[in-house]
């Protein structure tokens, strides 16, 4: 399985793109591990940082309500 971001040539992961971020989160709004999503290590770190920033800005919830 190839990395989604490498395959689509996405250089920057924006925290405001919530549709993309939700795709890499579980039903309980946890960040999925890279072995489940198939994302490479560098993009996994950028992805987790973007999700955490989106949570802080209240664009994505911390937990399921």
Res. 33: pLDDT tops 90: yes
Helix (H, G, I), strand (E, B) or coil at 51: helix
CATH of domain 4-56: 4.10.640.10
Mean pLDDT for the stretch of residues 15-37: 94
Res. 64: pLDDT tops 90: no
pLDDT reported for residue 29: 93
Q: For the chain, how many residues are written?
A: 65
Cα separation, 32 vs 39, whole angstroms: 10
pLDDT reported for residue 13: 95
pLDDT reported for residue 28: 93
């Amino acid at each position: 399985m190839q990395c989604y971001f490498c395959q689509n040539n996405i250089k920057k992961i924006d925290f405001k793109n919530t549709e993309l971020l939700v795709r890499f989160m579980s039903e309980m709004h946890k960040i999925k591990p890279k072995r489940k999503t198939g994302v490479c290590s560098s993009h996994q770190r950028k992805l987790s940082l973007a999700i955490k920033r989106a949570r802080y800005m209240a664009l994505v919830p911390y937990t399921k309500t």
